Structure 1
Amino acid sequence: MNRIWALAVNTSREAIRDRVLYSILFFAVGVLVLSLAVREITIGDQATVVRSVAQGSIDLFGSIIAMFLGVSLVYKEIDRKTVYTILSKPIPRWMFVLGKYLGLVLTLAIEVALLVALYTVLMLLQQSMPPGVVYLSMVTLMAELMLLTAWATLFSTFSTPTTAAAFTLAVFVIGHLADDIWLFGNQAQSEAMQTAARVLYWALPNFELFSLRVEAVHNRPVPWSRMWGALAYGAAYTTAVLSLAMAVFSRRDLK
């Protein structure tokens, strides 16, 4: 456990020092601040507009950070030859992957927490405390980002960052269109199209299960059954994908 934690902390420290990460965060902070300017020129429910822009920006930039960090997770270590030094110690390959993954999750949690804290401060300065459902939506967002990072980690174990980024982006897009794909499959005339749509729906994650954006924006209650269902789905799916990533890397020839 200590070795996994050491890997996680070192990975998180390395990720936080990345300049590209700061560029992404800079744009995220900029969008959050601009949401207040949008409020001033909006006719209607201004609080809803601010929550909508802020919620969308945190979701979007959180996903970008997850993909950016995850796709080069293993490749960087192999490219810099540091993986050989790490694995020469009593650290099995599965532990290496798990430690690196947890380090990215720790980094994501810090970044999301910073954005949520900034969002809260901006809301307090302009209006009032954001409703509690906003913070519940951040919990499910973290579950989504953990699953997305697991996919990025899987792809990074056997491909280059460019290829891993393309695969991860495809999973991200399809995952957010899962309900539409299911509907398309039910309406398709071709049996082959129906089968393909169903395979995509069941094989890839449904990221919309984690989305509480509408509830957060309009301050609607969230049934606890939905909340726990989404978290359980995320935990099970993330465990499966991460286990596959560890298995793939354990069998990879690093020579």
Structure 2
Amino acid sequence: MNPIRVFTIAKNSFQEAIRDRILYFIGFFSLLLILAQRIIPEIAAGTHEKILLDFGIGAISILSVVVAIFTGTAMINKEIEKRTLLMLIPKPISKAELIVGKHLGLWAVLVVTIAIMMTIYLGMLSFSGIEYPTNALLIAAVYLLIELALIVAVALVFGVFTSSILATLLSFGVYLMGHFSQDLVELGKLSENPSIERLTTSLYLVLPDLSRLNLKNDAVYGLLPDSGELISHGLYGLLYTTLLLVIAITIFSQKEF
């Protein structure tokens, strides 16, 4: 795998994603914060500061996941539909370089997007005189980026072998179930049915446990796991992302164009 070719593909993917008006999401996010800042204090006096803290970081998470899934699932299909993939494959560019480059390009867009949204979010909190745990929120944002790297990899896995619409639905399904995978295990235990318990345990082992990367709910209170647990969760996310990229490359390599 040639790093220069991977970087070139990542750069082109980054520019393409920006041209697809992804940064309009930032404007939409700013509008949401302005509306929340005006409306929430009027309907939740006394608890509005906590609600604004939760709302802001939650909106960043949801909007970035929407960008990751919709853009990630369409990346390869768009190349196929535009026939540009047929021009890329004969060149000295491997399918692995294409997948990794696309992943890094979209992840770079998400890094920029979240950095801007976090700046707007923290600026709004400061302007409103709301105290917030800066370090905890920034660490939560870093782990959100690790989660997004995993979600982009999921979107690419589905995107290389099915349509964009189905890939989007499947990716959202994995995202939702990944956040409730631990609850699935508990549900299986409560059922007291060995078959259901085996099924829920299997799903837990196969699906990514995204709750390990979701720190935003505790971060607003300034609470975070200890450093050892943080490292463990981070490595989990990176290793799972790597595994998904290997799967995407393997599937994509079997396709003929």
Task: Name the TM-score, length of structure 2 as normaliser.
Answer: 0.93
**Secondary structure of the corresponding residue to residue 220 of structure 2:** helix
1:137 corresponds, among 119, 137, 140, to: 140
State the shift of 1:189 in Å: 2.7
Does the 8 Å contact 1:215/1:222 carry over to 2?
no
Does the 8 Å contact 2:215/2:224 carry over to 1?
no
Report the equivalent of 1:210: 213
CA distance in 2, matches of 1:209, 1:221: 11
Pairing 1:169-248 to 2, within 5 Å after superposition: 169-248=172-251
CA distance in 2, matches of 1:117, 1:134: 11
State the shift of 1:38 in Å: 4.1
Report the equivalent of 2:150: 147
CA distance in 2, matches of 1:27, 1:188: 43
State the shift of 1:28 in Å: 2.2
Pairing 1:1-255 to 2, within 5 Å after superposition: 1-19=3-21, 21-41=22-42, 42-127=44-129, 130-131=132-133, 132-254=135-257
The one-letter code matched in structure 1 to 2:146 is: A
Does the 8 Å contact 2:157/2:248 carry over to 1?
yes
User: C-alpha offsets along residues 28-85 of structure 1, whole Å, 9 cap, x if unaligned?
Assistant: 2222223322452232244322111101101111111111111111000011010111
Does the 8 Å contact 2:132/2:220 carry over to 1?
no
5+ residue gaps, structure 2, are none
**Secondary structure of the corresponding residue to residue 45 of structure 2:** coil
State the shift of 1:162 in Å: 0.6
CA distance in 1, matches of 2:191, 2:131: 46
Does the 8 Å contact 2:77/2:164 carry over to 1?
yes
State the shift of 1:171 in Å: 0.3
Task: Name the TM-score, length of structure 1 as normaliser.
Answer: 0.94
**Secondary structure of the corresponding residue to residue 248 of structure 2:** helix
5+ residue gaps, structure 1, are none
User: C-alpha offsets along residues 198-230 of structure 1, whole Å, 9 cap, x if unaligned?
Assistant: 111110001111111222222224411222111
**Secondary structure of the corresponding residue to residue 123 of structure 2:** helix
| Larger deviation, residues 34-43 vs 79-88 | 34-43
CA distance in 2, matches of 1:35, 1:222: 29
The one-letter code matched in structure 1 to 2:67 is: I
| Runs of 4+ deviating beyond 3 Å | 22-26
